[in-house]
Every structure is written in structure tokens, then in C-alpha cells.
Structure 1
Amino acid sequence: MPDDEGHLPGSDRFDRVVVVFLDHVRHARRLSEQTVRAYRADLEDLVAFAAGRQVERVDGITLELLRDWLWAANERGLARSTIARRSASVRAFTRWASESGVLAADPGVRLRAPKGAAHLPRVVAQDQVRVLLDGLAARAVGDDPGALRDRAAVELLYAAGVRVSELVGLDVADVDQTRLTVRVSGKGGKERVVPFGVPARDAIEAWLERGRPALLVTGAAQTPPDAARCPSATDALFLGDRGSRLGTRSAYRLVARVLGSLPGEGPSGPHTFRHTAATHLLDGGADLRAVQEMLGHASLGTTQIYTHVSSARLREVYRTAHPRA
């Protein structure tokens, strides 16, 4: 449908339409900033590839062009998981463009890419988690704000199984220390209430009483006298060393330091504690759908990957329940 100036939407420049799409997924669909960054990186790469084929208008996108783009990525040696993600990104874009009338048809609807390799998540054993958390508790005995924060953050990551983006987005008001719950804003802005245990409550309480006020004062001292304090910083549950809201990268570095002392290989980011929490819940007999609700998974299939790493629990149930075990 033509716009107010009589131009067909599909005749607009590809890169400009990508900007509109990114604004849509950020504000209308309220996708996480991490997802938006992935969309931007993938689509900007496609824009550059299309320009090399003399395609600069969005209506010049064809299924053949998209297939050639993925093939070129494969020839460059990109991982199958990366190619699969790129395919998903461009399908989301072309579907939106078609539904919004920018394109007459969806050229990405038949686009297929190899599925990402099925890697089982890294899971830390229960005794190792205990050693890690005891070590953090020992370092937080004094009044060092960083040690108090690190203990509280890792305790909550493991206790509630939250994503790192959810952790750093928490405000003080989101934590109910009486009911032992935390209100989390997940993917797509969907809220859920997640329980946590007494050890996490004690760590959060110590951080709020002895650690957070010190870092908040540090942040205030670094703020120019004529500048207003950022409400998001003063409301944030976890603060960085300079008194502002703890960032995702800082949370990654924190967890990497904690997990670096463990033997074995595998990812050392905050998601490791999320994987570990889910697996330990299933090992303890938790219902799969309850774990799905706790983690905020839209699909039960996403949660089911943890059943593959809970075979020990399955074998124990079999030995105690099956008459021919």
C-alpha cells in the first residue's frame, strides 16, 4: 500500500527498513536488548551482502538471495548454530515486512538452514555448587561491598534460575524477602514470580544492609552536582563498582571468576547456573512443567533438554520402582 507521498513501501532502502524493524521488535514486541543486537548484526550483514549483489531496495530480496547469503556464511566456516540463528533472524524480518505491507510476499517463508548442533548444557555438580557458594559466603563475612554483591548475585542465579538479563534488570522492589520470591521481567516483557531459598535471602539481606548502600554512595560521589541521579541506578537491586546498575558484561565476568576454579571444560557464563538449577530441580523430583514455569520457557520442549542431563535421577527411580530392576 502506498504511503502518504505515493511511494510503495517495498521501494524503500533495505537498510532503512531494517532500522524500522529493529525499532518495532524493541518497543512493540519488547524483545530483549540481546535479541535486538543479534537481529541487528545478522540483518546488517545481509544488507551488506545484498549491496554486493546490487540489491539496495527491500523489494529486491528473493529466496535465492537469502539462500546465497546463508551459503556464503557456510563457506566462511561459520558454525551451524550461527547459520541457524541468521536464518531465524531474516525469517522474522521478512515475516514482519510481509505482514506490515512492506513486502507483497514473504520471501523467507521457505528458507531453511541446518539446525544448530545439540550441545548439552554444562551442569555443575551439587557438591561443587556448595563449595563455590561457601567460598563466596566466606569472602562476604566482612563489609566488602563487592564480595557481598557477588555472593548475593550468584546465590540468586542458582536459587531462581534467572537469565543474566533478568538478574541485572531487577529492582529492589522486585524482591519479596518475606515470601521468598522475586518478580522477574523475562523475554517479551513477560513477568513471572520465581521462588528462592533461605540462603539466597540471607545473602540478599546482607547485600542490601551492608553492601549496596556503600556502592550507592560511591555512585553519588561520582555524579556531577548539577546532574540528577538516574532512577534506574537508585532502584537497581545489583550495582556495579561505580554505583550504577550492574551490567551484563560485569555479571559475566563475575561468574567467570567464580567458575574458573572448577575442573572441567564448558561455558562459564551465568547461564551455567540456570542450567544447573533446572537440572538439580529435576534430579530432586520437580515436575517438568513447574520447571518450565520457573524458567519462563514458552515451550516445554526447551525445558526438556534438562531431562537428558538428569539420567541419574531416572536410574534411581527405576531401581526403586520397577519390579524387574
Structure 2
Amino acid sequence: MTTIDRPAGRRAPDTERAARRPPRRRRDLALFWFVLPGTAVLLLFHYVPLLGNVIAFQDYQPFIGIADSRWVGLDNFDIIFNGDDAFLRALANTLQLTLIQVVFVFPVPIALALLLNSVVSERVKRVVQNILYLPHFLSWVVVVAIFQQMLGNSGLLNVFLQARDMGTWNIIGNPDLFMALLTSQVIWKDAGWGMILFLAALSRVDSELYEAAAADGAGRWRQTWHVTLPALRGLIVLLLILRLGDALSVGFEQIILQQTAIGIEDSDVLDTYVYNNGLVAGQWGASAAVGLVKGVVGIALVLGANKLAHLMGEEGIYQKR
């Protein structure tokens, strides 16, 4: 084998390029500056306020501050351990609404993504996709106002029924229909946005898998079951874990805007309970205790669901070490 002798003092091309390349820390400095504002906002408005949970163990009074408020230990947790009626009612409503939304709301974006992915025309697909995820950008104030204009006592539906002497249908102010109303609002507002995530996952599925399944005689449904759904399984598990972590938070703004029409007993959830008893009634310590327990339970649900995902062979929100 022959070798090429380089003149003395000459560096190899790769070595020269490596020497000219700036250090990684200096090269990525611009990226660090871009990340810094978001990191600062996250620390300032999400992590620093966590220190305020100390008032859950105090007889906190805003006019004297945290430092001078009297320590009461676990007294504020009595409403949880001893079963305060208002707290138990809010907890029951929260769990019921969470179960309904996991069963009826979570699968809707998956179904929409599967249906839209089967559309052949890309133009029709884009138009339908834009229409479906547009409501996500509306605030809950606007969404609730739209539903009131459509389904309220003097809304379009009742105006239509009255014009034909068919009576009226009380939907907005009916406690028996409140859970269904909340669920339909969440589906209308956020299902299209969640659909985008599953469409992105479907776009990464190799088309040769469908061709191979079709060559083996698999129809549309069998292709969906054996090719499409396995491709979405990891994303479904990840989003379900995150949803369980947020299980005890079921839409504060959405509910508080409609609580007057329904009544507190039938619409109170943990988030509105904390607001009504903390900011409104001034029971700061007890409300902070409820919020603290809610956060701890959320963390436990995330870790437990993630461990279960590892046992099922999925990565979850973080990989198993």
C-alpha cells in the first residue's frame, strides 16, 4: 500500500476545519439567548410561585404576609381528611367530568385524524383541517358566548322552536345537561387542534406498509388496525399520560363563566372550589391545601401512568433508564 507524505507543518483538511470551527459553547450562544426569555418566564410564573404553597401550612393573612402569618401545621388539610361537604362535592364533580372527558373527548382527535387521513384530495384535507382547528384560537369567553347565543333560553334554537309553537328547550341552565354541555364545548374547541398531532404522526407512516398489507389481502379496516393504530400507539400513550397528570384540572375558565347559570352545587370542581373559597371567601390556607394536594396527586398519576407505559413497552414521557 502506498501512502502520501504530507509536507512538514501541513495539517490534514479535517484537522484544519476542526481548528477553524468555533467552540460549541460559543457557536450555540445565539440559541441560548433565544431560549433565555422563555426560560425566564417559566421560572418566574411557574416555578417561583410554587414557593407560595407554604401558606397551606399557615393561617395566612394577605395584609401581614407569609413571613408573619401563624403556622398551623396540617389544620388546613382537615377539609380533605375529614370530608368537608363542599370539597367532596367538588371532588366528585371533578372526577365525573374527568372520566367523561377521557372516555368521550380523548378519542375524538384520533377519529378525526383517521377520517381526514383517508381523504384522497389534499385540497379538501387542508380546508377541513383549517375549519376544524380554527375554534382552538378562540378564548373560552367567546366559546361560551357562542353556545349561549345558540342554546340559551333566548338563543337561536329556542327562537326556532317558539316560532313553530314547539316550546323551549333549556340547555344552558339545566344542571342535568351541564356535563354534556361542557364536553361538547371542549370537543368543538380543542378536538381539531389535537387532531394535528395525530395527522403529523400519520404522515410519518411508511406507505409501503399499507401496500404490503393490501398485497396480503387486508382491507381498509384491517390496515387501520394493524398499521395505522400501532403507528399512533406511542403518541396516544404519551398524551394519555399527560392528560392523567392534568386529570384534576378540568377547565376553570370554562366552568366559572357558566357557574352562575347552573349553580355552585352542580358545577363546582376543585379549581373553582379553590377560587371561591380562596380569593372570594378569604380561606387562603385551606384553598392552598386543596391546590397542593391536587398537584401532588397529579404528579403521582403521571409517574404511575409512565411506569405502566414502561411495563407495556412504551417510552412514555421519559425513557426508562
Query: What TM-score, normalized to structure 1?
Result: 0.27
Q: Greater CA radius of gyration, 1 or 2?
A: 2
Larger RCO (alpha carbons 8 Å, 6+ apart): 2
From the two aligned structures, give the one with the greater helix fraction: 2
Query: What TM-score, normalized to structure 2?
Result: 0.27
